[in-house]
């Protein structure tokens, strides 16, 4: 399938590394002008320079802002007043015993993983609706419907994103704008490598640690391996395309068969 996004602009939050960077690369390869974001200017600019090298001729803008705050959302929207594609990828995660999670952490996860997406959707959706075309995707997780005991605050935030996606899809109904969530399974990034070792120990070589993590903590996975960021990006690029115009209000799974449940 050939996806053509020339003439479209995309904003990808949390895109200086990992899944977000892979998504930004995929969208740029499809011809979209891409804005990469992150909190640290040097890392965002480094990511943008890397994309320009990897995708010759790519139109890449770098914006440094803390999108977990209203001020950060304002900074981004001042730099990029409108977009055709919004990928709310920004998120944090960490293993934490359930009874030790304090109020400040609960609030922090909600601000970063949920309200960052709400604020940007609220700002960018009206323009998409007025133009009659747009794509919003919220990067959720299998943890949204199979809450992991080791990080229920993270699971709560991703469950909330499903409701946010469905609700904004209803607000955009009939407009030509689609809003979806992508449920990503455990994905191979630097941060996840640390998370895996945190759970299974630091003495195991990476390949063995990955297998042990899947065996102990994600036994329902049909892949029995971590998903690569590019595999998430392929789905996101498709959902950003004209070919996905009939898919909205959906929770689309890229989870390796981990979820044994019906997602509304």
**pLDDT at residue 262, rounded to an integer:** 47
Residues 264 and 249: their CA atoms lie apart, in Å, by 9
**pLDDT at residue 258, rounded to an integer:** 65
**Which residue in 109, 124, 154, 258 is the catalytic one?**
154
Active site residue 124: no
pTM recorded for the entire structure: 0.92
Q: SS3 helix, strand, coil % of the chain, rounded to 5?
A: 50, 15, 35
Residues 59 and 41: their CA atoms lie apart, in Å, by 18
264 residues of the chain, pLDDT tens digit each: 799 999 999 999 999 999 999 999 999 999 999 999 999 999 999 999 999 999 999 999 999 999 999 999 999 999 999 999 999 999 999 989 999 999 999 999 999 999 999 999 999 999 999 999 999 999 999 899 889 898 999 999 999 999 999 999 999 999 999 999 999 988 888 778 888 998 899 999 988 998 898 888 888 788 888 899 999 999 999 999 999 999 999 999 988 776 555 444
- In terms of DSSP bridges, do strands 9-12 and 85-88 run parallel, antiparallel, or are they unpaired? parallel
């Amino acid at each position: 399938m050939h996806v053509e996004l020339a003439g479209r602009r995309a904003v990808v939050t949390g895109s200086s590394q990992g899944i977000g960077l892979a998504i930004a690369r995929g969208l740029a390869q499809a011809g979209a002008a891409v804005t990469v974001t992150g909190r640290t200017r040097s890392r965002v600019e480094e990511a943008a320079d890397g994309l320009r090298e990897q995708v010759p001729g790519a139109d890449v803008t770098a914006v440094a802002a803390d999108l977990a705050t209203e001020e950060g959302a304002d900074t981004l929207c001042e730099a990029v007043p409108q977009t055709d594609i919004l990928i709310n990828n920004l998120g944090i995660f960490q293993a934490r015993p359930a009874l030790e999670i304090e109020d400040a952490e609960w609030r922090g996860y909600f601000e970063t993983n949920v309200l960052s997406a709400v604020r940007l959707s609220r700002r960018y959706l009206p323009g998409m609706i007025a133009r009659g075309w747009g794509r919003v995707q919220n990067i959720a997780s299998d943890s949204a419907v199979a809450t992991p005991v080791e990080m229920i605050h993270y699971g709560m935030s991703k469950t909330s994103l499903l409701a946010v996606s469905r609700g904004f899809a209803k607000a955009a109904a009939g407009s030509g704008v689609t809003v979806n969530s992508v449920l990503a399974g455990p994905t191979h990034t630097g941060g996840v490598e640390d998370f895996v070792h945190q759970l299974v120990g630091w003495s195991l070589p990476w390949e063995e640690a990955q297998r042990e993590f899947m065996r102990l903590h994600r036994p329902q996975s049909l892949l029995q391996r971590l998903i690569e960021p590019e595999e998430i990006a392929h789905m996101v690029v498709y959902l950003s395309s004209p070919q996905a115009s009939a898919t909205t209000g959906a929770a689309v799974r890229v989870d390796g068969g981990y979820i044994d449940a019906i997602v509304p």
